[in-house]
Structure 1
């Protein structure tokens, strides 16, 4: 936006109204601005061209892009209330105590399918908190450590290669925690502990959003927050 253009009081009111909506994370179209400022759409278009834009849309989105808090995608204000439930609290507390119990031992992470990205997220987060975490690529990894914790992330928990690795981990005295969509899956049945994580499976012709991976990440974030407050905060008793 050019700064050396003289604006009338009415034009300033129009721009201020647009800024007001953007500051509240509210979208506003040309009709809304016209009604609130008691001006015609033609007057707003004339203002946009005066400022060097092709029309209202270009002017609006340029102002939007230059505003720091412009319509940020933010779920954090209601994420806790959205995910509050007795079951989630139990799972978060269980994960917190597991991390505490194995804070000095090796934690292996494994996954299969689209949740590989969640496994990498878990790995990097656990490393940043000082845990001895690593991805498990080979069966030999279990025999090189006396015992530890083994997280396996799998939506179905039914693939044979998953069960083979989990059985090897169990044979080598690793505690297996399954993160899967159903505790009745083959993985859920043989794991020492199973955390059911909601997700939706659908085909591309009738696709529904699958939040399995995002729920895995949210679970870890909630657990690490509680772990930090309970065991790392200088204020803890």
Structure 2
């Protein structure tokens, strides 16, 4: 079941049946072996015909079997799901607490408020759109205060991006979310910052240019925020058999 789930994530909306998924599962699990042995041997292993495999390749948009197998390695590399061990490096929390809170808070029962100022605002906008297309209840707090938009029926989570971890407006948003018994996820470059210490899930991203408040010099902080967010969201929505 978990292999089929992985295939559904890679090949979305392709109308695959169980036989197609069985073929792809074998190819993705053994790309080198399949490339070396050829289509007839593959057909024997998965109890189908070479014609069916060629038909599947065409269905997926490839010119044929050879192109499908050629891209199998790239497909595996580009869609490898994040593992807990790689996520644990993003936080000072223990692995068990971190993983549990990520799954709990990135839950569609919660209402997610998102806020970031300056360059962080661009990252906040990406987070907002990503959550929207994944059918989360979410609101971008651009010019809005939490008391104005909060509804008692919500289970609010505040998602903050602050490179320094000391932004005044972000600290005010934290005061507001605490007043309605909400929870906090933060993305900062300083694990010892006020914002990180107040967070239920503090995400810390190393930034060699942390003192460059004007963002004049090279930094990968903002790109790392998006990468970390993608990994967290992906991990939170894994099939339980993948955890």
What TM-score do you get using the length of structure 2 for normalisation? 0.53
Dislocated runs of 4+, deviation >3 Å? 75-81, 83-86, 88-96
Q: Unaligned regions of 5+ residues in structure 2, if any?
A: 1-76
Query: Which position in structure 1 is the counterpart of 2:133?
Result: 128
Q: Output the CA distance in 1 between the equivalents of 2:81 and 2:103.
A: 23
Q: How far has the Cα of 1:84 moved from its partner?
A: 4.1
Q: Output the CA distance in 1 between the equivalents of 2:237 and 2:80.
A: 21
Query: Which position in structure 1 is the counterpart of 2:227?
Result: 218
Q: Output the CA distance in 2 between the equivalents of 1:188 and 1:80.
A: 23
Q: Output the CA distance in 2 between the equivalents of 1:199 and 1:79.
A: 25
Query: Which position in structure 2 is the counterpart of 1:195?
Result: 203
Alignment of 1:150-189 (within 5 A): 150-189=158-197
Q: Output the CA distance in 2 between the equivalents of 1:85 and 1:229.
A: 14
Larger relative contact order (CA 8 Å, sep ≥ 6): 2
Query: Which position in structure 2 is the counterpart of 1:32?
Result: none
Change (3 A) 1:94 1:153: farther
Q: Secondary structure at the match of 2:121?
A: helix
CA-based RMSD of the aligned residues comes to 3.6
Q: How far has the Cα of 1:138 moved from its partner?
A: 1.6
Task: Determine if contact 1:112/1:154 at 8 Å carries over to the other structure.
Answer: yes
Alignment of 1:85-124 (within 5 A): 86-88=88-90, 90=95, 93=99, 96-100=102-106, 102-124=107-129
Q: Output the CA distance in 2 between the equivalents of 1:118 and 1:79.
A: 22
Task: Determine if contact 1:142/1:172 at 8 Å carries over to the other structure.
Answer: no
Rg (Cα) greater in structure: 1
Change (3 A) 1:187 1:88: closer
Deviates more, 1:219-228 or 1:137-146: 137-146
Q: Output the CA distance in 1 between the equivalents of 2:88 and 2:199.
A: 22
Total equivalences in the alignment: 157
Q: Output the CA distance in 2 between the equivalents of 1:134 and 1:124.
A: 10
What TM-score do you get using the length of structure 1 for normalisation? 0.54
Query: Which position in structure 2 is the counterpart of 1:3?
Result: none
Deviates more, 1:143-152 or 1:124-133: 143-152
Q: How far has the Cα of 1:230 moved from its partner?
A: 2.1
Q: Output the CA distance in 2 between the equivalents of 1:228 and 1:161.
A: 31
Q: How far has the Cα of 1:188 moved from its partner?
A: 1.6
Q: Secondary structure at the match of 1:125?
A: helix
Q: Output the CA distance in 1 between the equivalents of 2:87 and 2:112.
A: 27
Task: Determine if contact 2:165/2:194 at 8 Å carries over to the other structure.
Answer: yes
Q: Output the CA distance in 1 between the equivalents of 2:150 and 2:87.
A: 39
